[in-house]
Structure 1
Amino acid sequence: MKIMLVDDENLALLQLERMITNAFTEHGVQDQIQELKSFQLVQQALDYAKQSPPDLIFLDIQMPEITGLEAAEYFQQMLPEVEIIFVTAYDEFAVKAFELNAMDYLLKPVSASRLSKTVNRIMARRKDKQPQVLVEKPQAKQKIYCFNHIRFQVGDGIIEYPKWRTAKAQELFAFLLHHRGEFVPKYSIINMFSPELDKKRAMTQLYTVIYQIRKCVKEANLEIKIDNDSIQEGYCLRLENTVIDVEQWEKELNQLQPQDPQYYNKLEELLYQYEGDYMGNYDYLWAESERERLRQLWISNAKDFLQHLYAIKDWSRLLKLGDKMNSFSPYEFEYGIYMMEAYDQLGQYDKLKQFYEKQEQTMLEELDLPLPEDMIHWYEAWLASRKGIQNKV
């Protein structure tokens, strides 16, 4: 077992190194220590860990260069399986330590009896970790759904809703996914998600939420990296072998060729793949611009297809698509006459009246405006014609 100690105080390091050696000896497992290295600077410890990854890290929390909580995040990003034991003089950090998946925490001054319990915990954890035989298997393509709400799918498995521990973890993941491939500065995240907290508390909360996200993603068996760049002081979510539904939808829509004999069939299929707005079930203001852009892209193509259906007099398909458009954009009245004529042609006169009255009510109550004149004239002419037919009968 390779053990690393990180503390900015040299005397504290020397004492802890001696106590750890004695504790392992007392338990008769001193042969388990393959290497025991101490560092006063976090960056030196990180650099060494890249060359010789440790299995266990005793990490001080209060350090001037970088806090232990932040250092733990760097170590966990580099070495997901590493075990961390925090060493602190402040009991307030205990809860945060466990939220960051620490194996244990020790309060300074560290006592021999308390360290003995920690060694017991270390050996029990190592005993539980059975060696696994790695079997090469093809990497399953994963998919992330963003229409309406975020869902995950690995390979041909079922589509699952991620089990977020907090709403903040859910939104921060969505935000990083929205900016995938880009480094998002930590100060931007803090200003957006925790403006009410002081910097120290906000940074601690940020590390905890990032850990929660990584844990949720791991439990979902997704290959997603969230890099923490110490130079740029930000996070970057990276995806490989991953399909994003909205990204795929827009790409296929842009690849359609009007001269293709199957153009309208393919267009119709894509229009119905639009299950709902981009992250539409979440009230994320930062997503509104992209949400509106994709919605307008759908509406524009839906209008084109409605015109096509009107031209070929396919009234049933026209009504189906018109209802979908109305649910996404109740103020789009350009297709109103198409809908009313379709109802008329199919003999659905009651539904025609209901449609008109609902549109009229929506305009008056929400916009305090009348319907477009062409819709009013069409409807009045239709009513007159219906009266004429009834009078003849």
Structure 2
Amino acid sequence: MVLSTPALCFPVRLLPFFNEVIYFVMKAIIVDNEQPAIDLLKMMLEEDGRIEVAAVFLKPREAIEKLESLQPDVVFLDVDMPVMNGLHLAERIRESGEHTEIVFVSAYRQYALPAFQYNAVHYLLKPITREGIAETVKRLLQRKPAASTSAAPAATDCPPSIKAECLGSFRVTDASGRLVKWRTLKTEELMAYLLIKGRHPIPKWDIISDLWNDLPDEQAHSHLHTTLYKLKKTLKSHGFTPLIDFSSGHYHVDFFGINGDWTEFEAFALSNEPVTAASEAAYKRWIEDYKGDLFGKLDYPWSLPYRERFAGYYQRMVIVVSRYWIKQGEHWVAESALLNLLEHCCCCEEAYELLLWIYFERGDRNSLVRQFKRMKQVLQSELGVAPRPAIMTLYREMLGKLGN
């Protein structure tokens, strides 16, 4: 049952803050299956004056139904409730968005640890005291700093730069060049996941399936929320706040202000820029900047199709620009690029074929034979196949023309 509160006219509390006046009232809802507990908490919050109780609920499901329309700044949740307890309700609140703060209220201490997995502001023990309310409001104000009368620019207006290197390794650095150190390996993996997949809405179940498929659903949910909290907290400590929101079963991610080598690399690869005297330098720059597979040694299972995609971009760039260099007579430049390509993609037959042409045109019979034998051995050991018949024929013709 929803218990609507009468229209309340709270005095606006004026708070001193760096010699400015700040107007601040937070909107709250209370969810508890005991009416006396609701009445006491509501009275204490109203006495404080900085929190307006917009509605109270005896049933958690009714609170969920009204959450979107009420848009509260904070929800006070009793933990021990029938049908749906406060922890399950907190999970539903987190799924609906990251902007609503949560304060748990309980007579039992044993729920405190699991409660904070949902990024709770505070855990109030019953019986509630005015000191406990004061501490809660203090923490809420620290989480949601009020808007000052002199308007400050929004956080998204001029976001600090942060840089991510994903080709050949995975490194994130802040605007001052400091390396971002992740609290857990899973936090680091989630950051990599969101960077690559976050350009489109990501279904929540895809994240759970890709990162926590070995855990029961409830435990996986808990790990996702906890890891997201750690990720945002780590980035915030480096002066960067990404937008990570949840709606309609999907996470929406915006890493505005982030510079990434993989995004620029992919944009150039997809441009299909013809190789000319004007674009040659850009091709050379990108194939030299390619340091290896996406995320390097962090070969996350979910990243395999992305690793293959970027390796394909690199392979195509090298082949295209090497053909150009061979036509221009720059055999040594082409040879170097092709040999580097084979260090990353050892089974690329096109690279071997172009190298055979280079050694043939150079009249270097020994290198021609050596490279053909290497190709034959690699293809057999890695793929269990022989070189294509066309390459076999080409090789025999080259040997015949070069003679002994």
Unaligned 5+ runs, structure 2? 1-24, 58-62
Answer yes or no: is 1:147 the counterpart of 2:163: no
- For residue 389 of structure 1, what is the aligned residue in structure 2? none
Deviation at 1:13, TM superposition (A): 1.4
Alpha-carbon separation, structure 2, partners of 1:65 and 1:233: 21
Q: 1:7 aligns with which of 23, 27, 31?
A: 31
- For residue 322 of structure 1, what is the aligned residue in structure 2? 338
- For residue 132 of structure 2, what is the aligned residue in structure 1? 118
- The one-letter amino acid paired with 1:284 is Y
- For residue 229 of structure 2, what is the aligned residue in structure 1? 211
Q: 2:99 aligns with which of 78, 83, 86?
A: 78
- For residue 388 of structure 1, what is the aligned residue in structure 2? none
Alpha-carbon separation, structure 1, partners of 2:206 and 2:393: 49
- Percent of residue pairs bearing the same amino acid type: 20
Alpha-carbon separation, structure 2, partners of 1:211 and 1:128: 16
- For residue 56 of structure 2, what is the aligned residue in structure 1? 39
Answer yes or no: is 1:284 the counterpart of 2:309: no
Q: Is the 8 A contact 2:275 2:320 kept in 1?
A: no
What's the CA shift string for 1:153-199, capped at 9, x where partnerless?
A: 556x42x6543333333333433333324333333333443344443
Q: Is the 8 A contact 1:62 1:68 kept in 2?
A: no
What's the CA shift string for 1:56-93, capped at 9, x where partnerless?
A: x53334563983432553687225xx5x4322466554
- For residue 313 of structure 1, what is the aligned residue in structure 2? 329
* Residue-pair matches, total: 362
Q: Is the 8 A contact 2:365 2:402 kept in 1?
A: no
Q: Decide whether aligned partners of structure 1 residues 142 and 124 sit closer, same or farther in structure 2, where only a CA change above 3 A counts.
A: closer
Unaligned 5+ runs, structure 1? 25-29, 386-393
Deviation at 1:256, TM superposition (A): 5.7
Q: Decide whether aligned partners of structure 1 residues 353 and 138 sit closer, same or farther in structure 2, where only a CA change above 3 A counts.
A: same
Q: Decide whether aligned partners of structure 1 residues 258 and 46 sit closer, same or farther in structure 2, where only a CA change above 3 A counts.
A: closer
Q: 1:226 aligns with which of 237, 240, 244?
A: 244
Deviation at 1:34, TM superposition (A): 5.3
Answer yes or no: is 1:262 the counterpart of 2:286: no
What is the DSSP-based 3-state SS (H/G/I as helix, E as strand, rest coil) of the residue aligned with 1:187? helix
Q: Decide whether aligned partners of structure 1 residues 166 and 284 sit closer, same or farther in structure 2, where only a CA change above 3 A counts.
A: same
Answer yes or no: is 1:166 the counterpart of 2:184: yes
What's the CA shift string for 1:196-226, capped at 9, x where partnerless?
A: 4443333223222222232233234334211
What is the DSSP-based 3-state SS (H/G/I as helix, E as strand, rest coil) of the residue aligned with 1:334? helix
Alpha-carbon separation, structure 2, partners of 1:102 and 1:300: 50
Report the TM-score, using the length of structure 1 for normalisation: 0.72
Answer yes or no: is 1:252 the counterpart of 2:268: yes
Answer yes or no: is 1:60 the counterpart of 2:81: no
Q: Is the 8 A contact 2:198 2:253 kept in 1?
A: yes
Q: Decide whether aligned partners of structure 1 residues 297 and 198 sit closer, same or farther in structure 2, where only a CA change above 3 A counts.
A: closer
Alpha-carbon separation, structure 1, partners of 2:203 and 2:383: 41
- For residue 112 of structure 2, what is the aligned residue in structure 1? 94
- The one-letter amino acid paired with 1:146 is C
Q: Decide whether aligned partners of structure 1 residues 134 and 161 sit closer, same or farther in structure 2, where only a CA change above 3 A counts.
A: farther
What's the CA shift string for 1:231-282, capped at 9, x where partnerless?
A: x123221343544433322323444643753122222222223332334433
- For residue 272 of structure 1, what is the aligned residue in structure 2? 288
Q: Decide whether aligned partners of structure 1 residues 31 and 365 sit closer, same or farther in structure 2, where only a CA change above 3 A counts.
A: closer
Q: Decide whether aligned partners of structure 1 residues 205 and 338 sit closer, same or farther in structure 2, where only a CA change above 3 A counts.
A: closer
Q: Decide whether aligned partners of structure 1 residues 75 and 116 sit closer, same or farther in structure 2, where only a CA change above 3 A counts.
A: farther
Deviation at 1:355, TM superposition (A): 5.4
Alpha-carbon separation, structure 2, partners of 1:172 and 1:313: 47
Deviation at 1:147, TM superposition (A): 2.2
